[in-house]
Structure 1
Amino acid sequence: MNTISQIQAVGKYLRLSTQKTRRILHQIKGKNYQEAILILEFMPYKPCKIIKKILESAGHNALNLKYEKQNLIIHQAFANEGPKLKRFQPRAQGRAFKIQKPTCHITIRLGLK
């Protein structure tokens, strides 16, 4: 197996919307490691903090494989749907409305320039 494909980090069962997360991941895809960290630091969205932690984890995984952080770019960054947490909201006259709280799995793969 190629060692480049092993430089990755995964966050699972995160209480974030998949669509909102994908919007942010699309912004950092193809960027180098340092630039992506900088972009995530100054974006005002909730998933940015979690995505930044996953990206830093992938960077540390690259250091363990003896790669320099300045030589890394983001090859793949994607979010898949996780299981939905199902809840009920009580309503008038004994009714109940279903609430589905989404979760997602974020994967970031790094490669060399």
Structure 2
Amino acid sequence: METRSVAKFIRVSPQKARLVARNVTGKHVEDALNVLKFTPKKAARLIEKVLTTAIANAEHNSKLNVDNLYVKEVRIDGGPSWKRIQSRAMGRAYRIIKRSSHITVVVDEL
């Protein structure tokens, strides 16, 4: 029985978060937490937070054994973007796009 946890409107680029998400998909929960703990990226802290929430949901709501859980899926979807303007030389303006993400972590029992 699978359990999931979602964090929405997180201020990290989906492209950068997917780099971290690929490292933990399909791993045992303890191994995934260790990988995220020692990954020096902002997205690793955010995915770790969502993963611990998914583990707690599985333990409390679904009454699953934590020792048998593995990371079935980590999905990073693009959220809304903030559009900003940066002034440049000779009166020009460049657009800066500050992206956000929706992070979904699904854990399942072996």
With the length of structure 2 as denominator, give the TM-score of the two structures.
0.94
**Structure 1: runs of 5 or more not aligned:** none
Structure 2 partner of 1:82: 79
User: Map of 1:1-113 to 2, 5 A cutoff?
Assistant: 4-5=1-2, 7-64=3-60, 65-113=62-110
RMSD: 1.0
| Aligned pairs, number | 109
Q: Distance in 2 between matches of 1:69 and 1:39?
A: 17
Identity value in percent: 35
Report the AA paired with residue 67 of structure 2. Answer: Q
Q: CA deviation at 1:78?
A: 1.2
Q: Distance in 1 between matches of 2:57 and 2:67?
A: 14
Q: Deviations over 1:34-79 (max 9, x none)?
A: 1100110011111101100000000000011211111101111110
Q: After the TM superposition, which parts of structure 1 deviate over 4 Å for at least 4 consecutive aligned residues? A: none
Q: CA deviation at 1:95?
A: 2.1
Q: Distance in 1 between matches of 2:46 and 2:58?
A: 19
